[in-house]
Amino acid sequence: MLFFFQLRFYSNIVIFTIFFYEIIIIAIGVEHHSKLLHNNNNDNNTTISRAKNSPGNSDLFFNDKNDKSGDKDSIQLPKHKKQEISTTTTIITTTTTTNLVSINDSESSSSSPLSAVTARKIDVIAYCNDPGRPPKSQISPVQLTYVENEQVQYTCDEFISLKQYRKCLKGKWHGEMPLCGNAFRQNDLTQVFIYEAENGFPKRLLDEYNLTNNLQPFNKFGNSFIAERYPSHPVRAKGAKDYYWNLIIEKPALIQMIRISFSIVNHLVDPKMRTNIFDIVTVVTNQYRDCKRVANNSVSPWHYNSTRFDYWYFCRAKSKEDFHQEIQQMTNQIRIETTSLVPIKYDLATFILAEQYSNNDNYTDPICGLPEVPVGLEARVINDQINYVFTCAKDFQRVDNYGGQFLTLQCGYDNRWHGQLPICLPTRQCQKIVLENDETHTYLVEIYKYDRVFFINQTEWIPVRGSRAFFRCKDETNIFVGKEIRICDDGEWTNSLPNCLPTSSVKSEDSLKTSSILMIVLSTLIFTFLMSC
């Protein structure tokens, strides 16, 4: 009996020794296999290393121990103050925007296993601040900043229905500054003479209308004539293809904006109108101004079977001398020539005139509203809506020597801003992050977008304070490790360079660990069973 227990005791010791020997062998095998996987990844250039020759880049997994620069996890983007305008010295801080620009990634090495991955383009995006506005106007949407390719819409408070637009492209607002004017409310149409036209001149008088004291009151919006104010019968042109209109208003005026609408009778039912072309040829106020069409529209049906055609014109003085001449010789006549392919009959539907805004009654002190202030500049008010002085903003320095220390914009005779702006460039900037593959390194991560950058010109741009770089894996099946965004702060990029891990290597190590755990559990069960025997 004693011999049996001794035999069982020594047998258990042997089994126990064999059990722990198996566990040690399994652990050594796991470690050895992990090293093989790691070395294999290095041999195949699938790990991420430091960005080549790029200041400010640090690898998330392979940091240089001698690199003492501390990474910052986050940075607050610069806050934008609301625009302030007053008669005292006030700062307006704005920024311009830029168009979407694409830049190719660096080409992969021909020996790289990622050479088959197509290089994708990088979106480079700037932004804009307040685009400026004419006096007595509304802008939509109202925002502190506007993204690339975003468009703003202007509407005038006193000149109805006209919508004007500007678009943010490559750090600047594109499109001319919109124009608004003061629509007449006390300067009605009094006489209308309609002629048949030939070669741009009146040939014979067809009809005339005396509207003096015959127009009904209308207070909804400013106008010189709308059809419902003269309900007795329409002001109609008939009997010809081409017409010459001579419209006379009550008082001489300096006319800057015109909206005129004609309603073509039976336009929807007359077969001849289906292929007909109707248009306004010219609009003339006097010899001192050029009137150019800025928009047109049609509304159908309008008053039974007619179609209404709307036209908007801006009339600006040809020169400063012409502007002052016109002030001395203002007229009260507007001449309009129309043309058609076939004889046509149409009515005057709307006639709205607007004068330019001015600080006095004789138009010699025009006002232009608020100017656009480009990126890197600040504006201070000298005379509200008339005159502003421009200097470089914080973190920008002037690089030109034009016109002394301060440059100004002055509201001109044509309601445009006149003057020279300083050229200002950033004093601090970040280096562009370069991820170039070579014989020893292949990057699995890429930059797909920069935003809030500063454009030097139409093609050159630089990252400045607040600019952001966005990262992603080249292969979407890989696992992204790190932070997606790095921010330029005082000349350095925050955070470390992110990395991407191939899914295959992660799965191999996970499967090896799982099988090892199963072997240990199985060995434990066998040992427990033998000990219980």
The CA–CA distances, whole Å, from 316 to 287, 291, 344, 420, 487 equal 11, 7, 31, 21, 47
**Model pLDDT for residues 322-360, shown as the tens digit of each residue:** 999 999 999 999 999 999 999 999 999 999 999 999 988
Tokens of 442: 């292949």
Half-sphere exposure of 504 (CA within 13 A, CB side): 7
Tell me what pLDDT residue 303 has. Answer: 79
| pLDDT confidence bin for 301, thresholds 50/70/90 | confident
The vertex-429 CA angle with 427 and 432, nearest 5°, equals 155
- Using a 10 angstrom Cβ sphere, with 0-12 exposed, 13-18 middle and 19 or more buried, the burial of residue 312 is buried
**pLDDT in the model for residue 23:** 60
Q: What's the CA gap between 145 and 147, in Å, rounded?
A: 7
pLDDT in tens, 66-124: 343 333 333 233 333 333 333 332 333 333 333 333 333 333 333 334 433 455 789 99
pTM above 0.75, yes or no: no
Q: What is the pLDDT of residue 324?
A: 94
| Bridge pairing between strands 306-317 and 163-169 | unpaired
The answer to whether the beta carbons of residues 396 and 427 sit under 8 Å apart is yes
pLDDT at 14 over 90: no
Sequential DSSP letters for 220-279: SS--SEEGGG--SS--EEEEESSEEEEEEEEEEE-EEEEEEEEEETTTTT-GGGSS--EE
Between the alpha carbon of residue 381 and those of residues 90, 420, 468, the distances in Å are: 6, 16, 33
Q: Any idea which residue has 């020893």 for tokens?
A: 440
pLDDT in the model for residue 7: 52
Which tokens hold the place of 218?
């209308």
DSSP category for residue 363: S
Q: What's the pLDDT score for residue 82?
A: 37
Residues 164-211 pLDDT 10s: 999 999 989 999 999 999 999 999 999 999 999 999 899 999 999 999
Token representation of residue 518: 């199963």
The CB density around residue 293, as the number of other CB atoms within 10 Å, is 14
| Dist CA 334 CA 253 (whole Å) | 11
Give per-residue pLDDT as tens, 237-289: 999 999 999 999 999 999 999 999 999 999 999 998 989 999 999 999 999 99
Question: Which pLDDT belongs to residue 211?
Answer: 96
Q: What value does the mean pLDDT take over residues 430-438?
A: 90
Structure tokens at 319: 């020169």
Is the pLDDT at 525 greater than 80, yes or no?
Answer: no
| Amino acid at position 380, single letter | R
Q: Give the whole-angstrom CA distance, residue 279 versus residue 338.
A: 6
**pLDDT of 139-162, one tens digit each?**
999 998 898 899 999 999 998 878
Q: Quick one: three-class SS letters along 375-405?
A: CCEEEEEEECCCEEEEEECCCEEECCCCCCC
Cβ atoms of residues 500 and 479 within 8 Å: yes
* pLDDT the model gives residue 86: 33
CB < 8 Å & 24+ apart, contacts of 159-162: 159/183, 159/222, 159/257, 159/259, 159/352, 159/354, 160/221, 160/259, 160/352, 161/259, 161/310, 162/257, 162/259, 162/294, 162/295, 162/312
The 10 Å Cβ neighbour count of residue 454 is 23
pLDDT tens per residue, range 371-387 = 998 888 999 999 999 99
Cβ distance 193 to 210 under 8 Å? no
Q: Which of 138, 159, 161 has the alpha carbon at shortest distance from 310?
A: 161
Residue type, 446: E
Beta bridge partners of 347: 236, 263
Q: What percent of the chain has pLDDT over 70?
A: 72
CA angle, 394 as apex, 388 and 396 as ends, to 5°? 90
What is the per-residue pLDDT across 446-456, written as a single tens digit (0 to 9) for each?
999 999 999 99
DSSP 448-484: EEEES-EESSSS-EE--TT-EEEEEESSTTSEEES-S
Please report which confidence band the pLDDT of residue 437 belongs to, taking 50, 70 and 90 as the band edges.
Answer: confident
pLDDT tens for each residue of 36-73: 444 444 443 333 333 333 444 433 333 333 343 333 33
